[in-house]
Chain A
Amino acid sequence: MDWLFFGEISLAGLAMGGLYALIALGFVIIYKATRVINFAIGEIMMFAAYLFLAFAGGMEMSPWIALPLAVIGGSILGGVIEKTMIRPMLGESPISVVMVTIGIASILVGLVEFIWTADPQLLPNFLPREPVFIGELYLAPKIAYGFLIGSALLIIYLLYFRFSRGGVALRATASDQAAAYSMGINVRRVFNMAWVFGSLAASLAGVLVAATGGLSPQFGIIGLSVLVVVIVGGLDSILGALVAGVFIGWLETVAGAYLGGEYRMPATFLVLAVILVIRPYGLFGTHEIERV
């Protein structure tokens, strides 16, 4: 066994898993607060990455200005979607709401094809290009720096949810909407905030992933890969999103390296199947018991 190779592969997988965790966090924040499974998360990522392309490529802004602008743009998009398309669906069946998010995804794909055409794109280089070595282990610079930026946002989020008034309101609404409402929390505002924060995390991940793997209107498919992460971790668990994101990223990469690229997805779906059998609510998800 070549342990150096295993170490390098694992490091690459863990770093990629960090980005999966960030996307999953966006997914979980929205689900936790509003109980909406957002199938448009991948397309929100895609839209933010195209915004970055427009700002840094088309308008030739500094990437470090374009990055926050694109991320804010993606989060505003999330807020607008919630206010105009999701909120009117309050009280409707969950399937209807899911169908709305699928429709939104389709609209966003059409919109980017209309604005930016269907051509495959590469984002302007904005991350350092010098190889990163951790001891003797090589790590691709885009993945390494992408992981660092993503981790910084993760830490800010965790601190915000733990200590800020907004974070407490969000957690309270997630635990019990009626109780939160009776305590004076503006639940509708919390819903909107959840979409804004969830979309913000997804948008940052979108730009970082697109910087590594390129961008096209089909970019949003990555959202489906992340669905595996959130189901394994637990749909309503932030800890689950983080742990499962890192684990699935590592597993996918190791399976790809040792078994071949065609085994990446089967490996992760095998884990998903096992988890669904053992813990249907995910590793860290809430086990809801419904009595009929």
Chain B
Amino acid sequence: MFRNILEKGRRLAGLGSLVAALTVAAPAMAQDKEPIVFGGSIPLSGVFAFAGIHIHAGLTDYTNWINSQGGINGHPVKYVMEDTAYEVDRSVAAFKKISGSSSPATYYGDSTGFMKAIASELNSQGNTLMSGASFATVLTDNETYPYQFIPGPNYSQMFGIILEYIASQGEGGDMPNVAFVYSDTEFGKDPIENGKARAAELGIEVVEEIVTKPGSVDVSAEVLKLRRVRPDYVVFHGYVLSPINEFMVQMRQMGLDTQFMGTFWSSDKLIIDKMGADADGYMGVMPYNYYDSEESGPMLDALRAQAEKSDPEAGYRPTGYMQGWFNAMVWTEVVKRTLDAGKELTGDNMAEALASIEDWDTGGIIGIPVTVRDMSFPVGRIWRVNADEGRYEPVSDWIHLD
């Protein structure tokens, strides 16, 4: 009897050892498969470095996290990048170098300029899917850019979300009016024409358009123009911080009760950190939950845990980090779908896999299931700065454009 029990115990122990050995071996087996390469032209220096270092951290942390989960269908993921200083020629050189040596399945482009410049080469190679820092409307033209997508709404769609929110604030048929303030750059001008058309459709009057020089400028003359039209809302685009602060402070000094809104790159916590109490009430459209929001979900929790693990001292992670992580998440989903369909990782197959994404649960990174439309994720939410709490809080439901 005792010997029988001992024998069963030995067998169970043996089975347990086998299971344990297999569990330990699984990641090792994953390492035996060909790695899937995420490439990147990353602006770790230069004018966009303030975001680039966080984008890089997001991509690195996601790569480490997915490898800790066994990679993609058993393939380990390798992240290969070069610093570009946000210069198109260096980004192109980095792409050529990385695509020549590592054959990346997916690639992070650091600017609209680079993504436009590399399009013909990307199209002729036909084996890499690209996304990146750009939300440019032009990149959602599938004829010209079949292998590039936007990891969120494009700038025109961001304006669409903002304008839908503004329209929803109209009371008793009294629709608010709006002024657009944007920088004199390709980035700044991107959504303006589409924004005006969408405003007209919604019955919102665009009472003023202000174009400013990029960089450090005095905007007091522009503020004087806005004082005369007294807009209910001012929507900024093409800035990170300045001159948003000066518009807000000076217009409030004049006693205007205008509300101020901005798009992705001007809706980071940087605005709160630098403006302090003056940032109170500023609103931004954001496709992802903020790192310090009260929202949760399995992927958002994993992101926070990985961020904490990789740098416990870092604290809050900016929107660039969320954007880098989300890019890599989409790449993973696309590669997985392509491999699951038994297809090769070509640009066409991956673009097809991307287009098939419908009602995708992002695990809390985006608060609702998302569907890809024209190579973008046209979803976002309006968040408002609570300066006392030092963070953005949601003031609208998630808005998914059709």
Interface set of A (CB-CB < 8 Å, partner B): 5, 8-9, 12-13, 16, 113, 117-122, 129-131, 138-143, 209-210, 212-219, 221-222, 253-254, 256-257, 260-262, 264-265
Contact = CB atoms under 8 A, between A and B. Distances in A.
A218 B224 CA distance: 27
Interface in B227-282: 227-228, 240-243, 245-246, 249-250, 253-254, 270, 274-275
Nearest to A257: B221
Given A129-B249, A213-B216, A222-B215, A138 B50 contact: no
Contacts of B210: 261
Contact of B213 (A113, A122, A142, A261): A261
B245 A139 contact: no
A118 B215 CA distance: 13
B245 A262 contact: no
Given A119-B270, A216-B47, 4 more contacts: A12-B220, A113-B45, A140-B253, A265-B213
Contacts of A141: 253
B213 to A, nearest CB: 6
A122 B218 contact: no
Interface in B35-90: 45-50
Contacts of A121: 274
A113 B224 contact: no
A18 to B, nearest CB: 11
A254 B222 CA distance: 10
Contacts of B246: 142, 212-214
B225 interface: yes
Contacts of A222: 215-216
A151 B38 CA distance: 56
B141 to A, nearest CB: 25
A284 B74 CA distance: 75
9 closest A-B pairs by CB: A214-B242, A213-B216, A261-B211, A140-B220, A118-B49, A120-B241, A122-B274, A119-B50, A12-B220
B224 A5 contact: yes
Given A120-B270, A213-B215, A265-B213, A131 B224 contact: no
Contacts of A122: 241-242, 245, 274-275
Contacts of B274: 120-122
B223 interface: yes
B225 A260 contact: no
A224 B242 CA distance: 19
Contacts of B223: 140
Nearest to A16: B218
A101 B398 CA distance: 52
B213 A264 contact: yes
Contact of A120 (B211, B220, B242, B253): B242
A140 B240 contact: no
Given A122-B274, A140-B223, A257-B221, A5 B242 contact: no
A210 B241 CA distance: 13
Given A212-B246, A262-B211, A118 B50 contact: yes
A138 B222 contact: no
Contacts, number: 110
11 contacts: A5-B224, A12-B218, A16-B220, A118-B50, A120-B241, A122-B241, A122-B275, A140-B250, A209-B218, A260-B209, A264-B213
Nearest to A213: B216
B112 to A, nearest CB: 18
A256 B246 CA distance: 17
Contacts of B245: 122, 214
Interface string B84-101: 000000000000000000
A138 B224 contact: yes
B254 A131 contact: yes
B217 interface: yes
Given A138-B254, A214-B245, A218-B47, A13 B221 contact: yes
B184 interface: yes
B212 interface: yes
Contact of A117 (B50, B213, B228): B50
A143 B221 CA distance: 11
A110 B144 CA distance: 37
B309 to A, nearest CB: 23
A122 to B, nearest CB: 4
Contact of A260 (B49, B211, B270): B211
Contact of B243 (A143, A213, A254, A265): A213
Given A118-B49, A262-B211, A215 B216 contact: yes
Contacts of A218: 47, 215
A113 B49 contact: yes
Contacts of A209: 216, 218
A221 B213 CA distance: 12
B261 to A, nearest CB: 19
A143 B47 CA distance: 26
A13 B220 CA distance: 9
A12 B47 CA distance: 29
Contact of A139 (B46, B49, B220): B220
Nearest to A209: B216
A9 B227 CA distance: 12
Which of B184, B210, B220, B224 lies at the interface centre, i.e. has the most chain A CB atoms within 10 A of its CB?
B220
B222 A261 contact: yes
Given A9-B221, A222-B215, A264-B213, A120 B250 contact: no
Contacts of B217: 213
